[in-house]
Chain A
Amino acid sequence: MPELMLDGHALTVADGTSVAAALALGGNGCSRTSVSGQRRAPLCGMGICQECRVTIDGRRRLACQTVCRDGMQVETQP
């Protein structure tokens, strides 16, 4: 059961949980704010649409294609 930090809050999830799922388990499910200020959440779920890009351990990555690991730092884009 990895414990990660999502926007500064600790969150424990089941093994194998994607960061995209964790966004909803530990928050409102949103990943980023669009160019015109809309909040967005994962759309395609399979690494195509890039809506779920978040900052994971300092790098921009896709939440839907990343499995949660212990100690991971996840920041959604404000």
Chain B
Amino acid sequence: MNEYADLLIIGAGPAGMAAALAAAPSGARIVMLDDNPFAGGQIWRDGPQASLPAQARQLRERLQSHANIRHHSGTRVIANPGPKQLLVEDDENGWLISYDKLILCTGARELLLPFPGWTLPGVTGAGGLQALIKSGLSVSDERVVIAGSGPLLLASAATATQHGASVLRIAEQASLTSVAGFAAQLPRWPAKWLQSFSLFNRHYRAGTHVLAAFGTDRLEGVRLQQQGKIVELECDRLACGFGLIPNIQLGQALGYAIEGQALAVDVWQASNRADHYAAGECTGFGGSELALAEGAIAGHSAVGEVEKARQWWPRRARWQGFANALNQAFTLDPQLKSLARPDTLVCRCEDIPYAALTEHSDWRAAKLASRCGMGACQGRVCGAAVEHLFGWQPSASRPPYSPARIETLMCLDDTPPA
């Protein structure tokens, strides 16, 4: 069942959807892949307890109205066996997709940092809890503490509250000065300003971060450093995420240049590789509005519609300003590097404690000696954590880019290249 696409889009979040919709009128044969069960990315994650905004519903309907867009949900990229060819798998099959143009819209993931007790059941990411609630997790009558950094904390708290949870505290690590400074700039983006009011919660505390989670078999409470004081709260759930980091592994493997921690793109959202583009949060964190603008530019550019792409530039610039303000405000406090104790597990796949890493000078040496990062998540959680904690550069990804059935890998042509 091998497939061909004029334009292959990896990721069906706001950027991927916008890219597909921008490119669709050209008549190009478009294939859009996404690991999640439904289109919409994390911000518009669908499920029995999700309430999608009108904009998300409209975008999904428009996608369905284009006969030249094929969307494969629950599908992951496994390998790149040849030029402009990817091996992918879903829950049933593995197959090859060849393409002419590629747009990566692989989004971002939460930065999860180790602290004592973070492996207890009941502890999730901040966006993680929101995603789980949308997909049907019941939090009714549960006591929830939300911690970490960034606007996602408020969004996650709002979702939890809406589904019957009692949110005891929202602990934002950034200082009150930073958060207030950011809030003061919000009127420049009126829609965001309104949104921030609707999300605002009286349990919000700036300058506050988690110290430990405790409990025997599952979470029973958390200890917070709250504006200089130590506070303990009994709770059923802790949702903790320290902002977002771009998913660049696939881009890196395909030879995209990296700038900072994100995929580098030019004004056309084009990478350094011909015919290869990127849009949305894999090129830097900026929210759904920026992702939509970048996706549209990438989609138009990929089908050669330069003028249409250019029309989106002002919108992108405007939301880029918002992203810059945001990233500045929620810079992580260096104190967060000292949350882990010697016995705190850093690698959750292999259960490797912090103490097993500190004697090493780089990621490779630490991995080999301790097996940290060698488990199923392929270092996506602990690799990002040690990059933050020790400044170690993660090693480049190799296929399989995601755990894959061996039968999928056996789909690769086994004849040697000529």
Contacts and interface: CB of A to CB of B under 8 A. Distances in A.
Report the contact-size class of chain B (Cβ under 8 Å from the partner).
35 or more
B128 interface: yes
Given A16-B135, A20-B132, A49 B112 contact: yes
B137 A44 contact: no
A60 B349 CA distance: 15
A51 B124 CA distance: 10
Interface string A20-51: 11101100111000111011111111111111
Nearest to A19: B135
Interface in B89-109: 91, 109
B355 to A, nearest CB: 14
Contacts of A29: 121-122, 218
B78 interface: no
B35 A45 contact: no
Contacts of A38: 119, 351
B72 to A, nearest CB: 13
A35 B351 CA distance: 6
Nearest to A59: B405
Contact of A25 (B37, B131, B136, B381): B136
B27 interface: no
Given A25-B138, A43-B348, A17 B47 contact: yes
A65 interface: yes
B334 interface: no
Nearest to A24: B137
Question: What's the dominant secondary structure at chain B's contact region?
Answer: loop
B350 interface: yes
A34 B127 CA distance: 23
Contacts of A53: 376, 403
Interface in B360-403: 375-377, 380-381, 403
B350 A35 contact: yes
Contact of B127 (A18, A39, A45, A66): A45
B125 A17 contact: no
A49 B348 contact: yes
A34 to B, nearest CB: 5
B375 A45 contact: no
Question: What's the dominant secondary structure at chain A's contact region?
Answer: loop
Contacts of A35: 349-351
A4 interface: no
A35 B37 CA distance: 29
A12 to B, nearest CB: 12
B417 interface: no
Contacts of A28: 121, 218
Interface string B254-296: 0000000000000000000000000000000000000000000
B131 A16 contact: no
Nearest to A38: B119
A48 B246 CA distance: 12
Given A18-B37, A29-B121, A42-B132, A50 B403 contact: yes
Given A36-B345, A42-B128, A43-B125, 4 more contacts: A16-B46, A21-B136, A45-B129, A48-B380
29 contacts: A14-B48, A17-B47, A17-B136, A21-B136, A21-B137, A29-B218, A30-B121, A34-B351, A39-B121, A40-B119, A41-B124, A43-B112, A43-B123, A43-B348, A44-B110, A44-B128, A45-B124, A45-B125, A46-B36, A46-B128, A47-B35, A49-B112, A49-B380, A50-B403, A59-B405, A60-B403, A64-B132, A65-B35, A66-B74
- Give 3 closest A-B pairs by Cβ, nearest first: A21-B136, A45-B131, A17-B136
